[in-house]
């Protein structure tokens, strides 16, 4: 009897222990699954919005916003998965809960009905682009509908919403994404389209015949913001707070990386080359090697010429005025200390009159080389016209900015320029405006005025001024 009782008791204990073990395993499994869900953030955006977000030829997500969110994942120790779709479908993905957060979009009242908007990521400018053959046509007539020429837009985009609200009579045609719209423009299916400045510049530098379009009307400047839907696993306030962990230097590094156009080679080039090498004779191998070398040199030369046309000044090899203005607009979003310098060569007209314009060009190049030797990759140095130069950066302290300004003046004068066989001392007058934690869009005006103060004070000097203001004036110098 005792033996039977003991056996029954042991059996019950075994069952109880087994049940507790299974319950513990189930709770651990649920906890792990829940933790995995929270730690994985589904981020959506457009699959063809170059250079902000797009799918590359090898199927990988790339772009400025993609790099921002990868930096976010690294800083906050979370896993980010990208869901890149057509623009309208990306909005629907957040609304329906297939994605937790939209990588970046512009606020509107219509979107605010189903999205919660958070922190600002970066500003963008949007313009109306026109085929060069249509410049003689009155643009106002196209926008008011008096001239029935369709304007290309991306379906579901903010620019489509903006144009419909402000130009309701304009003839419009919508495309699923920016790539489809630009392709239609190149094929002359449309002669007008609306696009962001960065998007248009990217396609003009990488797409054949895209340069036939020019910007004619600035429509708006807005901020790209984070946005979540009601089904998001993390509230937008938490994501915005965590996004601030991306420091300004990392943002600037990412933006600088995308300021240059990347060359993408066709995926079929390597297989074709391998096939030819396998079936060819020794003579054909040497011939192929020679041909590849020649083509590579031609491609390198073409890329260098493209880079010079889009970003650099052909005489000095510095950045050009267009790139400097775009860089100024980008720095406006960082809200940190910004240094702006403007300087030009003193008495440059007398150099041209005495030695000729070719010698004058040599003086410009010499000053550019001296200034470039005093800067690094954190500083954007540009020739903005004639003998005039400018630089901008958000990486210098007040003392460092003043020291650099004085160094440029002194080094230019201390390095004689060989002009027509004579060593000539060339000087510059420089104005340096230091904006202390500004808000708004910066300009060149203050630095320009300081430069002219230097000329009135005897030339060959640097005038430095700290500017404290919550909002500066709009840009006074636009891209020609």
Known active-site residue 387: yes
Please provide residue 349's backbone torsions phi and psi, each rounded to the nearest 5 degrees.
-60, -40
Contact 203, 210 (CB under 8 A): yes
Number of Cβ within 10 Å of residue 382's Cβ equals: 24
Q: Assign residue 176 a region: left if phi > 0, alpha if psi is -120 to 50, beta otherwise? A: alpha
* DSSP code per residue over 178-202: HHHHHHHHHTTS-SEEEEEHHHHHH
In the three-class reduction of DSSP (H, G, I as helix; E, B as strand; rest coil), residue 61 is classed as strand
Length of the chain: 480
In which element (H, E) is residue 357 found?
helix 357-373
Q: For residue 217, what are the contacts with CB-CB under 8 A and spacing of at least 6?
A: 127, 128, 139
Torsion of CA 254, 259, 263, 264, to 10 degrees: 50
From the number of C-beta atoms within 10 Å of its C-beta (0-12, 13-18, 19+), residue 294 rates as exposed
Q: Assign residue 101 a region: left if phi > 0, alpha if psi is -120 to 50, beta otherwise? A: beta
Catalytic-labelled residue, pool 252, 387, 388, 446: 387
Write out the catalytic residue numbers: 387
């Amino acid at each position: 009897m005792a033996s039977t009782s003991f056996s029954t008791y042991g059996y019950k204990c075994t069952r109880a222990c087994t049940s507790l073990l299974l319950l513990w395993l189930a709770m651990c499994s649920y906890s792990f699954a829940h933790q995995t869900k929270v730690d994985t953030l589904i981020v959506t955006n457009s699959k063809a919005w170059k250079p902000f977000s797009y799918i590359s030829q090898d199927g990988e997500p790339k772009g400025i916003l993609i790099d921002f969110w990868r930096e976010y994942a690294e800083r906050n120790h979370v896993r980010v998965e990208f869901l890149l779709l057509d623009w309208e479908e990306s909005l629907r993905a957040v609304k329906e809960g297939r994605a937790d957060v939209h990588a970046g979009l512009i606020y509107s009242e219509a979107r605010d009905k189903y999205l919660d908007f958070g922190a600002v990521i970066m500003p963008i400018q949007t313009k109306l682009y026109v085929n060069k053959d249509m410049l003689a046509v009155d643009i106002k007539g196209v926008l008011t509908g008096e001239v029935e020429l369709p304007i290309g837009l991306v379906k579901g985009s903010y620019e489509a919403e903006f144009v419909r609200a402000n130009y309701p009579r304009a003839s419009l045609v919508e495309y699923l994404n920016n790539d489809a719209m630009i392709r239609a423009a190149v094929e002359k299916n449309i002669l007008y389209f609306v696009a962001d400045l960065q998007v248009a510049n990217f396609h003009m530098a990488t797409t054949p015949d895209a340069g036939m379009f020019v910007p004619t009307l600035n429509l708006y400047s807005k901020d790209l913001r984070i946005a979540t839907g009601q089904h998001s696993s993390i509230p937008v306030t938490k994501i915005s707070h965590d996004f601030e962990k991306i420091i300004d230097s990392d943002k600037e590094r990412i933006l600088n990386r995308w300021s240059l156009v990347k060359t993408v080679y066709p995926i079929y080039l390597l297989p074709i080359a391998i096939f030819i090498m396998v079936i060819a004779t020794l003579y054909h191998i040497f011939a192929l090697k020679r041909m590849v070398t020649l083509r590579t040199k031609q491609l390198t030369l073409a890329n260098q010429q493209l880079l010079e046309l889009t970003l650099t000044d052909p005489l000095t090899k510095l950045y050009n005025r267009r790139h400097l203005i775009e860089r100024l607009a980008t720095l406006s979003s960082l809200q940190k200390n910004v240094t702006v310098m403007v300087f030009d060569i003193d008495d440059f007209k007398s150099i041209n009159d005495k030695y000729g314009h070719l010698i004058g060009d040599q003086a410009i190049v010499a000053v550019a080389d001296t200034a470039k030797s005093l800067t690094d990759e954190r500083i954007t140095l540009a020739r903005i016209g004639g003998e005039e130069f400018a630089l901008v950066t958000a990486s210098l302290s007040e003392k460092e900015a003043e020291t650099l300004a004085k160094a440029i003046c002194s080094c230019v004068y201390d390095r004689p320029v060989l002009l027509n066989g004579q060593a000539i001392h060339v000087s510059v007058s420089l104005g340096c405006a230091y904006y202390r934690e500004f808000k708004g869009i910066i300009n060149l005006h203050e630095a320009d005025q300081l430069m002219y103060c230097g000329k009135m004070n005897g030339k060959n000097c640097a005038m430095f001024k700290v500017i404290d203001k919550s909002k500066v004036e709009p840009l006074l110098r636009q891209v020609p």
